[in-house]
Amino acid sequence: MGAISSTPPGSTTSWLSTPLPALSAVPPEFRSRPSSSWLCVHGKNHHCAGSIGCHVTQFELLRSNGERFVCSPQHNLAWFTATVGGLGLTGFILWVELQLKPVRSRSISFDTLAFHSLDEFLSLTRQSEQAGFEYTVAWIDCLSGRNARGIFYRGNHAMTGALVAAGGREAKGSGPRVPFALPEFALNRLTVQTFNSLYYAVKSRAKPSELIDYDPFFFPLDAVRDWNLIYGRRGLVQYQCVVPESESAAFQEILRMISASGEGSFLGVIKKFGAIPSPGLMSFPRPGLTLALDFPFRGERTLRLFGQLDLIVQSAHGALYPAKDARMSRRMFEASYPNLERFRPFVDPNFSSGFWRRMSGSEESQ
């Protein structure tokens, strides 16, 4: 699903020709494939498909000195591994070729299952993988403390049903809209706790198996336009980490600390990454449990909580996700990415970003 614009001479694989920084994100609806590549993004099917970097067959890289060359697992492998997941720092990706998967329907057949602990979540994950479910992910109530409860979703592409929406491509952004930025006090422990309890109660009583369009399955937030205004004028910050599955005690401590802080989030997502390695030197996905939480930004209070969470993640030999970062420390970045020194020589001297200047220490010297 999702057409890609054109094809290089002699190629039969779908690809995209757009001069964008070497970065990668999925899915294709709202993100460019080059950007998806240099971020080496992951999805609900990571346990069985790996990150998007595993499906990039080749791309052409343009350096700031005018040099351009094709990179693939067979040609210029060092540049290929540096650029996939390389944060857009190695040059511009002029085009990228991806291996896609054909589907027969735009529908997803999915199950909704409640869980009442981290162990139960892990058990559902293992059962779902063994049963051949391609997509698995869960919403988690981050205010439930160590005994984490949540809603587990698993699904596969349906084998029957329409491939194209009735009347052609459906209009995006047709749902209800948040009319203005909510006041800061609107999101507090009581309101988040109330929402989480209601969401859990409703979803835990949902039909165990349903057929749904792929759009709300992959992009549930897009059902509400301007949903980010719920977080107020100061916006939101997301914290996403991954810790080895063997460090589940650290994962539970993260949830306990968030619950104790009162800085709750109603958008909490937990997933188990698989063991398929990414080809990128700086890729975030690795075997373990990943947790992504959106928090309203409360200034120093929020940053202090994140710093405490960093200590837990680092002690558990985990990592933070640069693609969603706005405050990671240089020390945490270096601990999260052991291939950093191997990556540095591939950075184009005329390419940079606010994130990279923070991580390389150049902002401190300015």
Q: How many residues are listed for the chain in this entry?
A: 366
- Among the listed residues 109, 113, 103, 106, the one whose alpha carbon sits nearest the alpha carbon of residue 211: 109
Q: How confident is the model at residue 20 (pLDDT cuts 50, 70, 90)?
A: very low
CATH number reported for the structural domain that contains residue 290 in this entry: 3.30.70.2520
Q: What integer pLDDT is reported at residue 164 of this predicted model?
A: 79
Q: What are the residues facing 268 on neighbouring strands?
A: 293
Q: What integer pLDDT is reported at residue 263 of this predicted model?
A: 80
CATH number reported for the structural domain that contains residue 81 in this entry: 3.30.465.10
pLDDT tens digit string along 223-270?
Answer: 888 888 888 899 899 999 999 999 989 989 998 999 888 787 778 899
- Among the listed residues 121, 114, 142, the one whose alpha carbon sits nearest the alpha carbon of residue 272: 121
What is the domain extent for residue 150? 107-335
Pair 76, 123 in one domain: no
Residue 341 is inside which H or E element, if any? helix 340-343
- State the Cα–Cα distance between residues 163 and 156, nearest whole angstrom: 15
Pair 80, 122 in one domain: no
pLDDT tens digit string along 267-309?
Answer: 889 999 999 999 999 999 999 999 999 999 999 999 999 999 9
pTM, 2 dp: 0.86
Q: Among 51-55, 66-70, 102-106, 188-192, whose mean pLDDT is lowest?
A: 188-192
Q: How confident is the model at residue 16 (pLDDT cuts 50, 70, 90)?
A: very low
How many domains does the chain contain in total? Answer: 2
- State the Cα–Cα distance between residues 109 and 159, nearest whole angstrom: 9
Whether residue 323 lies inside any domain: the answer is yes
Show the tokens assigned to 115: 């869980």
Pair 245, 263 in one domain: yes
Pair 85, 115 in one domain: no
Residue 303 φ/ψ, nearest 5 degrees: -65, -35
Pair 189, 324 in one domain: yes
DSSP structure string for 251-266? HHHHHHHHHHHT---S
Domain end call among 66, 98, 130: 98
Return the percentage of the chain with pLDDT > 90, whole number: 60
DSSP H helical ranges for 40-111:
46-49, 77-83
Q: What integer pLDDT is reported at residue 15 of this predicted model?
A: 43
Whether residue 122 lies inside any domain: the answer is yes
Pair 202, 270 in one domain: yes
Whether residue 359 lies inside any domain: the answer is no
Q: Among 50-54, 155-159, 258-262, whose mean pLDDT is lowest?
A: 258-262
Whether residue 353 lies inside any domain: the answer is no
Q: What integer pLDDT is reported at residue 265 of this predicted model?
A: 79
Whether residue 42 lies inside any domain: the answer is yes
Please give the average per-residue pLDDT across 157-181, as a whole number: 74
Whether residue 352 lies inside any domain: the answer is no
Pair 78, 214 in one domain: no
